[in-house]
A and B are shown apart, each in its own frame.
Chain A
C-alpha cells in the first residue's frame, strides 16, 4: 500500500507549522512529542502505521475553522480523526500532515424529545447518545460493534451500520442535521430538526465521505422509542445453502427482522468454545433471527419464522424464552471476532456485500481460495442485507503470512464485486480497499467522484491517499474536451 510521497518541503517547515497551530490552539492542544504522537499512529487497521508530523486537538468550532484555514494557506495536508476505531485506515496519519483530533468535542448540546432528536458534538460516542436518552425509553438506532468507543463524528465519516441496520437504517438514514467546516475554514450548516435539508442533499454526500470533504463539528440525529419487546430464534442448518434459502424466504414472507445474523461452521465452533452460548456444533450454518416490536407482533412472527425454517430444512431451532437467553444467543455472535482471535495468532476482518442469492457460490469459492493459500477462514454474515465479514486466520510472525492474508482478502472482495456486490458494506474504503476501487468502478465513475471532492477541497488537502487509488489535480479533472459542431445525433429520434 503506497501512500502519497511525503513532501519534504512541508516537513522542513515543521517548526513554522507548529508555531502557526499554537497561535490558534494554545497549550497542550498541539502535540509534537514523538511518544505522545504514538497514540495517533494508527486506527483500528493496525497493520498500517505512520506518525503524523504534528497533532492538533482543537476544542471550539472557531479553532477548527482557523486550523483548516491556516493549513490551506500553508499547503499542509490534514487527516481528521474521531476515536480511531476505523477498520479501513480512514484515520491513518501522513508523515507530512497534521492530525486533527476531534476528541475534545464531547458535549451533548440538546435533547429534544418533542422533535425526537438529539444534537451533539462529534466526539460523543455512539452509545453515549443512546445512554443519554435511555431513561425516557429512547435510543439511537445504528449500533456498530465498536459503539462503546466509536464517535458519532466517525460514524458520519464512515456511514456506520450495525446488526440492526436492515430494519433501522445506516447512519445516513438517521441524521437530521450537520455543521461542518470546509478546508478553507468556511462553516456550513445542513438540515436541522426538520426533515429534508433544502437544496442538494449534501448531507447524503458528507455521510460516508471518509473525512475527505469536511470536518463535522455538530450532529443532529433522530432518536427512536425502544421496541416494546425483542425475542430471538436460533436456527441450525445442515448446509449454508439451506440457511441462505431460509433468510430469503423470511424476507419474501414480508418479514424484516430487527437482526438476522449467520455464522459458518468455523465461526460457530470458535464462538462456542469461547463463550459457551449453547450453539449446536453439528450444523454448517447457524442463523440468529431477532424479532422486535410490540409483543403481539413478535409472538406472531416468531411462529412464522419457525415454520419457514422447518420448511427450509432447519435441523435445530430454539426460541429465546427470557431476556437472558436472548442475550446468550447474541453473546456468541458478538464475541465471534475475539473468539477467532483465540484460535489464531492474528485475523483479518473483511467486509464485502453480496446479493444474498450468491452466498453458496461465494462460500464455495472462498473455501477453494482458502485451500489454495493455506489460510483458514471463518464467516460471520449480516444475512439480512448480504454484508459478509470473512475472518482470515493468519500468523503475522510467519514471514509472508500477512501478505498472503491481504491477498486472500483482496480476492474475496473482488469476488464480491464479480457476483454483483460491493467492496465494503460498512467499514469504508480507507487505505485498505483503495486500490481495489478500480475493480468496482470505471475511471469515469471515479473521476466524477473526485470532481465532487474538488467542489469541497480544490487543493486536495483533506485526508489524501484514502478512497481513491489515483490522485488527480482538480484543474486536470475539470478540463472539458468539447469538439465544436462536429458531433451530431443521427440515430436519436427527435420531433
Chain B
C-alpha cells in the first residue's frame, strides 16, 4: 500500500522525513534494500523511508577491529572490503541487503554458537527516533560500558525503535582454514548427542548441524548428497596447523566417517546458513519456521510437533536451532510443543499469512507490556514500522 517513497541522502534529511511523518501522523515503512521485507509482519504504512541513499563506509580500521558505515551501505561491498584484509563479520550473517537491515533483523548463521549474533557485534549506532530526534548510542571501540547498551536493543528491533543512519560493528579475523567432519546415517537424537559431544570437547567447534536424509540429498556438495542418508556436520576453523590437529583428534573421538576440506566446507555451511533448501519450491503451501530451543531439546521438540503435523526439519546450533517446513496454520501446534523453552519464528510465508499470524512468538503479558513501554520511549506515536514485530507495537 506504499504510496510515496522518501529517499533521504543525509542523516539530517532522515530527521526531516521523520519529523514530517510525526506531524502528519503518517507511519513510515523503514527500508534498506528491501531484501528482508519478507521477514516479520508486513507494515501498514502509506510512506516508505528508503535508507539506501545513506551509503558508504566512514571508517575501517582492521587493527582496531571496527568498521563504521552509513546504515544503507550494501553488505556485499562491506564483505568485499573486509575480505581484502582477511576479516569478516564473525556471526556469519546471510548475504545481501544493507548493514542497517542486517542489524535491524538481528540475524546470525551457524557460527552463532561460538561467535554470537548481530547484537554481539553491534558496537555503536546513530539514528533518528520516532520523536524525530537524532541521537547516538554505544561507541566506536570494541570495549565500552558507558551508558545503556542501546546498540544491542537496536539489533533485532526491525526498525520499530529508530531509523538507523550509521552503525559501528566489530570485525574479526576470518579463519585461515576450515574443515568439516561428516557422520553418516544417525537419527536426530543420536546426531544431537554426537554434536553435544563435539561441543563439549576443547576443540572449539564453530558449526554443529544435522541434515536428515531429505535435506542431505538436496546438498550440492557431493560427499553429503551422495551419503544416501542423514549427515551430521561438525566444523573446525582457524589456523592451518590447528585445524589439521583438531580434525585428527576429533575425527577419532567421534568416529567420523569423512572429512570435508576447505572448499566443500565453505559451500556446505553456506547451504546450512541459508536454510539447506528446506521447503523451497513448495510454493505457498509450505511455510518455513525457525525454532530456538535448548540444544538438547531439539529432537524431542520435533518429535512432539510430528505427533500432529507433517514437517521436514534440519538442525543447526548443536540442535538448538530447528529449521522447520510445515503446512499453513501450524503456528499454534508448533508453539505448543516448546515445553522445554525457546521460541518459534515464521521466517517464510506469503504476506497475507504474515499479516494475520503471530510471526514472532507472542510474549507473556508483563514482558509485552514492558516491550510496549520501550517502544513508546523511542516512538510514542507509532511512526516507525508499526506492526512489523507484533500487532500494535
Contact = CB atoms under 8 A, between A and B. Distances in A.
A294 B370 contact: no
B307 interface: no
A116 interface: yes
- Most B CB contacts (10 A, CB to CB) among A169, A170, A453, A494 go to A494
Contacts of B368: 199
B145 A159 contact: yes
Contact of B242 (A190, A297, A387): A297
Interface of B: 4-9, 13, 16-17, 19-20, 22-24, 53, 61-66, 85-87, 106, 108, 112-113, 116-117, 119-120, 129, 131, 133-137, 139-150, 152-153, 155-157, 161, 172-174, 176, 196, 199-204, 238-239, 241-242, 244-246, 249, 292-296, 317, 320-321, 340-343, 345, 360-361, 363-364, 366-368, 370-371, 373-374, 376-378, 380-381, 389-390
A207 B244 CA distance: 38
Contacts of A252: 62-63, 85
A247 B6 CA distance: 45
B139 A353 contact: yes
B88 to A, nearest CB: 11
A296 B248 CA distance: 11
Nearest to A165: B143
A357 B295 contact: no
Nearest to B144: A422
A276 B240 CA distance: 38
A449 B148 contact: yes
Contact of A205 (B108, B149, B239): B149
- Most B CB contacts (10 A, CB to CB) among A252, A453, A486 go to A252
A32 to B, nearest CB: 33
B150 A198 contact: no
Contacts of A2: none
Interface stretch (A46-54, A310-318, A436-444): A436-444
Contacts of A301: 239
B4 A437 contact: no
A491 B13 contact: yes
17 contacts: A172-B120, A193-B340, A194-B343, A196-B108, A202-B370, A252-B63, A254-B173, A293-B204, A294-B246, A354-B141, A385-B141, A420-B140, A444-B133, A445-B147, A452-B150, A493-B6, A494-B6
B64 A296 contact: no
Interface string A274-318: 000000000000000000011111011100000000000000000
Interface stretch (A19-27, A323-331, A391-399, A424-432): A424-432
Given A198-B363, A201-B106, A486 B23 contact: yes
A9 interface: no
Given A198-B363, A256-B173, A355-B141, A172 B204 contact: no
Interface in A344-371: 353-357
Given A357-B63, A445-B137, A480-B381, A424 B149 contact: no
Interface string A225-260: 111100000000000000000001101101110000
Contacts of A494: 4-7
Contacts of B380: 478, 480
Contacts of B293: 194
Contacts of A187: 366
A201 B143 contact: no
Contacts of A446: 147
Contact of B360 (A198, A255, A424, A453): A198
B377 A489 contact: no
B143 A386 contact: yes
A475 interface: no
Contact of B136 (A182, A297, A441): A441
B85 to A, nearest CB: 8
Contacts of A161: 143, 145
Contacts of B7: 492-495
Contact of A487 (B20, B85, B120, B249): B20
- Most B CB contacts (10 A, CB to CB) among A158, A354, A482 go to A482
Contacts of B24: 485
Contacts of A248: 63
Contacts of A386: 64, 141-143
A28 B64 CA distance: 52
A488 B87 CA distance: 43
B135 A442 contact: yes
Given A198-B363, A200-B156, 20 more contacts: A115-B294, A116-B199, A137-B202, A182-B370, A189-B367, A194-B292, A194-B294, A201-B153, A202-B153, A204-B119, A251-B65, A252-B85, A353-B141, A356-B64, A386-B143, A441-B147, A445-B137, A446-B147, A489-B17, A492-B13
